[in-house]
C-alpha cells in the first residue's frame, strides 16, 4: 500500500485542464490501487499563507527553543512537510501563469523547502532528504513551451524540477497540456495525448 499526496494549484475549477487530467490520473490510480491512501490538498480552496518575518524566524530557531507563538506560526508549514514526508507518490496540478507557477503553489513551495526537515547542508553542499519518492506533474498552458521559439519562456517546468530536486524529489514526470488557447482542435489533441500518457503511467 502506498501513500499518495494530490495537490492542486489551478485557480480555475471549470475548464482547468491541469485539474481535469490530474483528476483522471487519480481516478485511474485509485482503480488500479484501491488499497492506497490518497490525501488531497487544494491550494485555492484552502490557500496556505505566504511567508512572514515571524515564520522565517521560527524556521531558523531550533525546535526545542521555539516559544508557543513561534510554534503556532509554523504549524501549517509543519503539516505540509509532514504530508510530504509520509507520501510515496506526489501528484501535482500546476498550470502555467505568466510563464511560471501560481502564487499559491509558490507559497506551498516556500513552506516545504525547509532546512533540517526536507534538506540539509553537508560537506559538499545541500542534500535533499525526500529521496525515493515519485512525482507526477500535470501542467497546462495557453501556448507551447516544451519546444520551439517559446521554450526559453518556460520557467514552470524548469523551476519545479529545480525546487523539487533540491529536496530530493528528482524522479519527476511531466504531463503537459499545451496550446490550450489555440482553439478547440488543439485542446482536443492535447487532451488525447495527456490521456494516452496517463494510461501508460498507470499501467507501468
Find the CATH number of the domain harbouring 8. 3.40.50.360
Q: Is 16 part of any known ligand binding site?
A: yes
Q: Is 97 part of any known ligand binding site?
A: yes
The whole-number pLDDT of residue 15 equals: 85
How many domains would you assign to the chain? 1
pLDDT tens-digit profile of 2-16? 999 999 999 998 889
CA–CA separation, 190 and 162 (whole Å): 25
Beta partners for residue 3, in sequence order: 37
CA–CA separation, 112 and 5 (whole Å): 14
Q: Is 155 part of any known ligand binding site?
A: no
**What is the domain extent for residue 30?**
3-203
pLDDT classification of 167: cutoffs 50, 70, 90: very high
Tell me the whole-structure pTM to 2 decimals: 0.94
Q: Is 10 part of any known ligand binding site?
A: yes
CA–CA separation, 43 and 31 (whole Å): 25
Give Cβ neighbours of residue 96 (< 8 Å, ≥ 6 apart).
139, 140, 141, 142, 145, 154, 156
pLDDT tens-digit profile of 30-77? 999 999 999 999 999 999 999 999 999 999 999 899 999 999 999 999
Q: Is 96 part of any known ligand binding site?
A: yes
Q: Is 98 part of any known ligand binding site?
A: yes
* Contacts of the segment 190-198: beta carbons below 8 A, 24+ positions apart: 190/17, 191/17, 191/20, 191/21, 194/17, 194/21, 194/138, 195/21, 195/24, 198/21, 198/24, 198/25, 198/28
Amino acid at each position: 500500500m502506498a501513500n499518495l499526496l494530490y495537490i492542486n494549484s489551478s485557480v480555475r475549477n471549470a475548464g482547468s485542464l491541469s485539474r481535469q487530467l490530474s483528476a483522471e490520473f487519480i481516478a485511474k490510480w485509485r482503480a488500479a490501487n484501491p488499497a492506497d491512501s490518497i490525501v488531497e490538498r487544494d491550494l485555492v480552496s484552502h490557500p496556505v499563507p505566504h511567508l512572514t518575518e515571524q515564520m522565517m524566524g521560527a524556521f531558523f530557531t531550533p525546535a526545542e527553543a521555539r516559544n508557543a507563538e513561534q510554534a503556532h506560526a509554523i504549524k501549517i508549514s509543519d503539516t505540509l512537510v509532514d504530508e510530504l514526508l509520509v507520501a510515496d507518490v506526489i501528484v501535482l496540478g500546476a498550470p502555467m501563469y505568466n510563464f511560471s507557477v501560481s502564487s499559491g503553489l509558490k507559497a506551498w513551495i516556500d513552506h516545504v523547502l525547509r532546512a533540517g526537515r526536507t534538506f540539509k547542508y553537508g560537506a559538499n553542499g545541500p542534500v535533499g532528504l525526500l529521496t525515493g519518492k515519485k512525482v507526477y506533474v500535470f501542467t497546462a498552458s495557453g501556448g507551447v513551451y516544451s519546444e520551439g521559439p517559446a521554450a526559453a519562456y518556460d520557467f514552470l517546468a524548469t523551476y519545479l524540477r529545480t525546487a523539487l530536486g533540491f529536496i530530493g524529489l528528482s524522479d519527476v514526470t511531466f504531463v503537459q497540456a499545451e496550446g490550450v488557447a489555440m482553439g478547440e482542435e488543439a485542446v482536443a489533441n492535447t487532451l488525447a495525448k495527456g490521456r494516452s500518457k496517463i494510461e501508460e503511467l498507470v499501467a507501468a
